[in-house]
């Protein structure tokens, strides 16, 4: 039996060696897999970090661009408010001159009539004012400009000039002139207020 025990012992020894060899190989493979997984995880982590940084930069640029746009819009709105305030003050000044019937206002009306006649290409015209101006100044200004006084017009201030046959008409009220020349006036006002065009 001694021989059988020796063979058993030999088989057990060889089996143990094989087990140890397989354990060693599996540990080595596990170690290699861990290294490969660690490298892959690090690569993925770096890639995610880079993509996150890229997204963060894009978001930062978007937020900055949006803030700049809002600041620009606020600046334009405040400029526009200042320009509108300047127009409002100009109209208030015209209305005060109108209420007083002062020389400056009368001269302005005469210039508006002359401009209206020129636009119409006529030498004779009919002029219409609002009710207050028609009562206070209408006859005198119509006479001094060689025009006929017409019916009152539904305007705030200024004059409506019509051809003698009243087929052609130019509304030279201050309100309509402001509307027609708004872009030019806005640019000139912006230059005056801000030192450049709007």
Separation CA 152–CA 193 (nearest Å): 37
Per-residue pLDDT tens over the stretch 25-61: 888 888 888 888 888 888 888 888 888 888 889 888 9
149 pLDDT exceeds 90?
yes
| pLDDT score at 196 | 60
The closest alpha carbon to 94, from 82, 79, 84, 106, belongs to: 106
197 pLDDT exceeds 80?
no
Per-residue pLDDT tens over the stretch 98-128: 888 788 889 999 999 999 999 999 989 999 9
The closest alpha carbon to 110, from 127, 86, 134, 97, belongs to: 127
80 pLDDT exceeds 80?
yes
- Decide: residue 129, CB within 10 A, 0-12 exposed, 13-18 middle, 19+ buried: buried
What is the second-level CATH architecture of the domain 105-180?
2-Layer Sandwich (3.30)
3-state class (DSSP) for residue 6: helix
């Amino acid at each position: 039996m001694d021989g059988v025990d020796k063979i058993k012992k030999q088989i057990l020894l060889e089996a143990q060696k094989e087990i140890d060899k397989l354990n060693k190989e599996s540990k080595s493979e596990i170690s290699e897999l861990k290294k490969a997984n660690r490298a892959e995880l690090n690569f993925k982590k770096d890639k995610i970090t880079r993509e996150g940084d890229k997204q963060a930069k894009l978001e930062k640029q978007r937020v900055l661009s949006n803030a700049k746009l809002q600041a620009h819009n606020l600046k334009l709105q405040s400029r526009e408010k200042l320009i509108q305030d300047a127009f409002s003050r100009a109209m208030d000044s015209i209305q005060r001159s109108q209420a007083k019937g002062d020389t400056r206002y009368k001269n302005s009306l005469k210039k508006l009539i002359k401009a209206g006649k020129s636009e119409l290409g006529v030498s004779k015209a009919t002029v219409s004012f609002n009710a207050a101006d028609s009562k206070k100044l209408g006859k005198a200004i119509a006479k001094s400009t060689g025009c006929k006084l017409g019916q009152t017009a539904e305007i705030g201030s200024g004059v409506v000039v019509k051809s003698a046959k009243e087929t052609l008409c130019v509304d030279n009220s201050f309100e309509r002139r402001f509307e027609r020349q708004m872009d030019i006036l806005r640019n000139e006002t912006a230059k005056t207020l801000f030192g450049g065009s709007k």
